[in-house]
Amino acid sequence: MERVYINCILCGKKSQRIEWVENEFIGMRCDCGLLYVSPRPSFDEILNLYISDERIVNSKSRDNAEFASRLTSRHRLRLIRKYIGQGSLLEIGSADGYVLDESRRVGFEPYGVELNPHQANFTKKQLGIPVETNPFSESSFCGICFDVICHFDVISHFYDPVSEFKKFNKRLKNPGVLCFETGNGGDLSKWWLRFIGRLQYPHHLFLFSKKNIEQLCKQTGFEIIALHRYSIFFQIGAIKLVQWLRKHLKEMFPKKEKNTVLQGLHEFPRRYSPKRELFLKFLILMSFIIRYKIGKILPKIGPQTVIYVAKKTSAIDSK
C-alpha cells in the first residue's frame, strides 16, 4: 500500500510529534491540535475501503439499526430546523438513508451521496430517495444548489476536508445551512486517547479540535452559528465495562458455566424473539439518552461528540 507524507491541512506545518499508532498507521499531532494520519494511503485506496465493503445485514439487525438511526436523525433534524425548516437537503455519507427519509417526513427534499453501493441501492430502491455513489463534486446532481448540506461522523473520513468544505460552499444556497457532527479528538490528550482505545485508522484520517473546526470553517467561507456538545464519557465507559466482563469471564465462572455463558453472549445478538428484540431496542434507547440527553448536561471534559451548525458567509473558489 503506497503511502504519502502530508503536512497539516490547516496551517501547513510539518509535524514531528507522533501521537498515535494503530494498524501500522501513524497519527501526527500538529501544534494547532489537529491529529492526522501521515503517511496516508492514496485516495483510490481509501475510496476502495468504502466501495468494497460488502457487509450483509440481516433484516432483524437492520430493524435495530433503523431504530437507532431514526432516533438520532430526529434529534439532528430538530437542531437543523431551528435555522431552516424546508427546502432541499443533501447528506454526505447517507448510509441506509434514514436521515434522508426522516428529513422528507418533516418537509425537506432529500438527496444523498453514499460511496457504498449496497447502502445506496437500499436507499434508492426501498426508500425512493435519489443517491449518487460517486464522490461529491461540482457536477453531482447536475450542479443544483441546496438549502442544507449535512454530514454526521463523516468529516474524519474525508481525504481532503478543506477541498470538501469548499465544494459545500459552492453548492450551498445563501442563506443556507451546513450541519455536521464529529468528535473532539483534536482536543484530547494521549491519556484520553488511550481511554478510548482505538481511533479506527485508516478509516479516520483526521481528528479535529474545536479550534480546528473554527479554522476550517473560516478558511472555506463559513461561520459557526451554533454548536451542541455532548459528553460521551459514560457511553464509552459502558462499552469498556462490557468488554472487561467478557475478558474476565474465565475468572468469574467455573469452566462448564463459563462455556455456557460465553456461548450465550456470542449467540445473543443473533437469536430472535420478541422479548430479545424489545430488550435490544431498550438498550438502543438508553444509549441514545445517555449520549444526547444526559451527555448534554454532563461536564464537558474528555471525549465528546459535537454538532456544528454553520452559515455561508462568503463565496469561495472550490478548487
Average pLDDT of 103-117?
Answer: 97
Please give the pLDDT value at position 2: 74
CB within 8 Å of 8: residues ≥ 6 apart: 14, 15, 30, 32, 34, 36
Q: What confidence tens digit (pLDDT) does each residue in 181-236 have?
A: 999 999 999 999 999 999 999 999 999 999 999 999 999 999 999 999 999 999 99
Domain boundaries, the chain: 234-297
For residues 234 and 287, the answer to whether their CB atoms sit within 8 Å is no
- Tell me, what's the pLDDT at 218? 96
Backbone phi and psi for residue 189, each to the nearest 5 degrees, phi listed first = -75, 170
114-120's contacts with Cβ under 8 Å and 24+ in sequence apart are 115/47, 115/50, 115/51, 116/50, 116/51, 116/53, 117/51, 118/53, 118/54, 118/55, 118/56, 119/94, 119/95, 120/94
Alpha helices in 25-106 (DSSP H): 43-51, 59-80, 98-105
- 11-46 tens-digit pLDDT: 999 999 999 999 999 999 999 999 999 999 999 998
Q: What is the DSSP letter of 40?
A: E
Per-residue model confidence (pLDDT) at position 265: 47
Pairing status of strand 304-312 against strand 172-183: antiparallel
* pLDDT given at position 261: 46
Residues 6+ apart with CB under 8 A from 263: none
Weakest mean pLDDT among 61-70, 176-185, 298-307: 61-70
Indicate the DSSP class of residue 209: -
**Closest C-alpha among 170, 181, 173 to residue 79:** 181
pLDDT digits (tens, 9 = 90+) for 45-95: 988 888 876 554 555 567 889 999 999 999 999 999 999 999 999 999 999
Compute the mean pLDDT over every residue in the chain, rounded to the nearest whole number: 89
pLDDT at res. 252: 62
Q: List pLDDT tens digits, range 230-272.
A: 999 999 988 888 777 777 665 665 555 545 544 554 544 555 5
User: Does pTM surpass 0.75?
Assistant: yes
Q: Which residue has the higher pLDDT, 316 or 137?
A: 137
Summarize pLDDT for 118-149 with one digit per residue, the tens. Answer: 999 999 999 999 999 999 999 999 999 999 99
